[in-house]
Amino acid sequence: MHKGNVLRIFRQIDVFLSYYDYNQGEALCDLKYSQIFLLNEMFELKKNTKGAITLTVLGKKTGFSKASLCSALKILKKAGYVDVMVDREDNRKKNLLPTKKAKEAELEVKLYLCSVSDLLCEGMGGRELEEMERSLNKISENINKMQMRSSGGK
C-alpha cells in the first residue's frame, strides 16, 4: 500500500464508525459508536481500578480530546448512562459513574463492539490481523511521540 492511501483508509473507517447503524437491540439505539466505545472503556476501567473514573483517566485511555470527551459524556449523561459527580476533595475533578441503565446495557455494548470488529476484519486471517495490529500499534506509538514533542515532553 502506498503511504498516501493510509489517511484515506483511516477516514473511511472513521466515517463507517460514525454512521454504522446497530439494529440488534434497543438499549443502544440512542447512542453513536464513540459513545458506546466510551461506555465500554468505562466498564473496563471500573473493573481494573478501585477508585473513581476521572475525565483525565478516561481521556488518556481513549485518546479522546477533552472537548470530544465532554461532548460524548454530555450525551451519555442526558441518555441516562453516566452520572458525572464533582470530586469531594478536589472540585476541579469530575468522577464518572456508569448508571444502572449502563450496567444493564453492558452485554449489548460488548456485542455491538464485537459486531463492528467482525465487520471491519471480515475475510482476514490470523496473520493478517497480527500484522495489522503491529502496524496500528506502530502508528499509535508515532502519534504518542508527536504528542510528547508538541507538549514539550511533559
**What CATH number corresponds to the domain at position 76?**
1.10.10.10
* Count of domains observed in the chain: 2
Domain annotation covers residue 47: yes
pLDDT, one tens digit for every residue, the chain (154 residues):
567 788 888 888 888 887 776 555 555 777 888 899 999 999 999 888 777 788 888 988 888 888 989 999 999 999 999 998 888 888 888 889 999 999 999 999 999 899 889 988 999 999 999 999 999 989 888 887 887 788 776 5
Q: Same domain, yes or no, for 109 and 58?
A: yes
Q: Same domain, yes or no, for 129 and 111?
A: no
**Range(s) of the domain holding residue 133:** 124-154
CB count within 10 Å of CB 98 equals 20
pTM equals 0.80
Establish how many alpha carbons lie within 13 A of residue 138's alpha carbon, considering only the half-sphere containing its beta carbon: 6
Domain annotation covers residue 8: no
Q: Same domain, yes or no, for 58 and 107?
A: yes
140: alpha, beta or left? (left if phi > 0; alpha if psi -120 to 50): alpha
